[in-house]
Each structure stands twice: as structure tokens, then as C-alpha cells.
Amino acid sequence: MKITTSLSTLILIIAGLFITPTHAALSTPFAYIPNEKSGSISIIDTTTQKVVDTITIGGAPRGIVVSQDGKLLYVSDRNANGLVVIDLASQKIATRIPLGESPEGVSISPDGRWVVAAIELTNSVAFIDTATQHIAFSIKTAGKNPEHAEFSPDGRWLLVSAEEADSVDVIDVAARQEVKAITVGARPRGIGFLPNGSQTYVACELPGMVYVIDMATQAVVKTIKAGNFANGVAVAPNGKHVFISNGRDASVSVIDVASQQIIATIPVGNRPWGLAVTPDGGNVYVANGRSNSVSVIHTETHQAIATIPVGAAPWGVVIH
């Protein structure tokens, strides 16, 4: 048998056997946590429940999303008034996109074309084209100090909550304009769509209520009492449960979608804010802003199974 492999190729093959891949090259989902007061991103391995990397970016990171291919992390920076784009393979900042003063929540469209950032002081949402990494356009919101913006699963609608409001703004993405404001409770915060897009759950801080919006009629069809300062919203991938963080109660409420009732309340760290569910629906990760930790909740048992120390003032969670 004739061996045709060159010496240089053989060396590369052998060397490759001893290279440890970065976390970005692995298939395990990772949870990315923006730490507002320490200017860093903690990266948690969702298998081991340990922090495996920390990316220091400075500033005050808050809203966070991952590109669909898992290669880029988009993080709003309150101090720099911009969007930080991080290359996850190198763990380096790829670019910074100016946004305007005090950006908060960010989200990505289902087709990956747009990253949207809520800009507080201009009362607007900025649409960043992911192909060019520049702002393509901005849309004014009726609500003052917009905080979160979430796309519907079909990408048709963008719902925006605002701190100084008692309504949720509805933006027609194709028309590039706000078309309606849906009245909810005071100080709406987190927004979460069911996977089929039929309903949206909005947590409102001051009344401690969750408002269920029917997207066909764009009207509130149910209110559910949650805990004090209901804040973050995360929806299970199968659409059966919705998880609500209660800021002043240091807890997470679990809503059964079929009955529209809270079926469990789980203690977590102090001042829980953003939260996210793993792709397999097995665990919920909750950022505890005043405990400098992340709580991991098992979705079947409704029990906290781990507490993971992270940076100072974790603001949210995204899992990819």
C-alpha cells in the first residue's frame, strides 16, 4: 500500500489530537450572563453547571442575544451607549455599534436578519442589520424608557415594554411602525411568546401581575397574580409552562399554560431579573442581580438544583 500523506499533513493531524477546543466549538449549550457592575460576560457550561470562561468587555453590559449560528454575541452597554459584538471563537470584541443613550434589552429576529435594541432616553428601538452590523432604522415608541423588545415567532410583530408606561407597544416589522399600544399593568417588563405565537405573557412590576395577550386580537385575555415586582419572562420550548422572576420576592413563579394558573413558586437568589430555558426544556437559568449568582431550576421537579457564582449584578441570561 502506498502512503501519500505528506509529513506536514501528518504533523497537523497529530497536533490536532492535542488541541483542546474552546467552549464555542462544543455542542453543549452554554448560558451567557452579562454582569452589569463587573463589566463582564460569564459563560456557564449547562452540563457541569460551572463557569468555564469569563469575557471582560468593560462598561455595563445588560441585554444579550446570540446570533443564530452561535458565532457572535450581541450585548448592550449602558455606559458606552452602544452594542458590543463579541466573536465567541476568539472571545474578542469584533465591533462596537453606537446606539444612543442607555440601551437595555436586545433581541434577534427569527430569521436572524435583525438585532433590536431598546434605547431608553430616545424612546425608540434600533434595528441593526446583522449583515452590515450597522443601524438600518429606528422606530419611536409611545412608552417612555423602553426596556425590552421581543419578536413574535413568525417575525411579524415586535412587542416593546417600557418603564414609564402601562401598555405594550406593538410594532409591525414589515411596515416599520408602531400600530398599537395594548394596555397592561404599570411598568411592564419581560415579554414572552408561546412557541406557536398565539399568546404573549407580559410581566408588570408594580402590580406584580402577568398579562396574557391574545395575538390574534391583540388584547389582554387573562391576568395572573405573580410575586412582588414580577420582572423576567421565559417560555418553555414545548409551550406548556411560563417562568416569571419576582424581583422583590427572590422567587420564580411557574405558570401552567393550559390552566393559566401558577403551579409552583421556587426560591432563588436576591433580585432575580432575566431568565432563560435550555433548548431541551430541562432547566431554567435565573440571573440573581443582588446575589451575584445564577440559580438553576429543574423544570420537572420545580426545584433549584444549583447556584452558580458569577460577576457583579448579573442582568440577564441567553442560552445557545
3-state secondary structure 223-260: EEECCCCEEEEEECCCCCEEEEEECCCCEEEEEECCCC
Domain boundaries, the chain: 23-319
% the chain with pLDDT above 70: 92
Q: Given this model, what pLDDT does residue 28 score? A: 83
Q: Given this model, what pLDDT does residue 83 score? A: 98
Task: Name the superfamily (CATH) of residues 23-319.
Answer: YVTN repeat-like/Quinoprotein amine dehydrogenase (2.130.10.10)
Q: Given this model, what pLDDT does residue 82 score? A: 97
Answer whether residue 6 shows pLDDT above 60.
no
Tell me the mean pLDDT in the region 127-148: 96
Burial (CB count <10 Å: 0-12, 13-18, 19+), residue 64: buried
Tell me the mean pLDDT in the region 94-107: 95
Answer whether residue 263 shows pLDDT above 70.
yes
pLDDT confidence tier of residue 186, bands split at 50, 70 and 90: very high
Instruction: Kindly give, in sequence order, each residue whose CB lies less than 8 Å from that of residue 291, ignoring residues fewer than 6 positions away.
Output: 269, 270, 271
- Asked if residues 262 and 253 have their Cβ atoms less than 8 Å apart, the reply is yes
- Phi/psi region, residue 208 (left: phi>0; alpha: psi -120 to 50; beta: rest), is left
Rounded distance between C-alpha atoms, residue 103 and residue 252, angstroms: 26
Give DSSP secondary structure letters for 111-178.
Answer: TSSEEEEEETTTTEEEEEETTTTEEEEEEE-SSEEEEEEEE-TTSSEEEEEEEE-SEEEEEETTTTEE
For residues 299-308, one letter each, b for 16 or more C-beta atoms within 10 angstroms of the residue's C-beta and e for the rest, the string is: beebebebeb
% the chain with pLDDT above 90: 91
pLDDT confidence tier of residue 8, bands split at 50, 70 and 90: very low
Rounded distance between C-alpha atoms, residue 172 and residue 156, angstroms: 6
- Asked if residues 152 and 170 have their Cβ atoms less than 8 Å apart, the reply is no
Q: Given this model, what pLDDT does residue 27 score? A: 63
Cell (9 digits) for 48: 457541569
Q: What is the C-alpha R_g of the chain?
A: 20
* 3-class state of residue 58 by DSSP: coil
What length is written for the chain?
Answer: 320
Answer whether residue 265 shows pLDDT above 60.
yes
Answer whether residue 244 shows pLDDT above 70.
yes
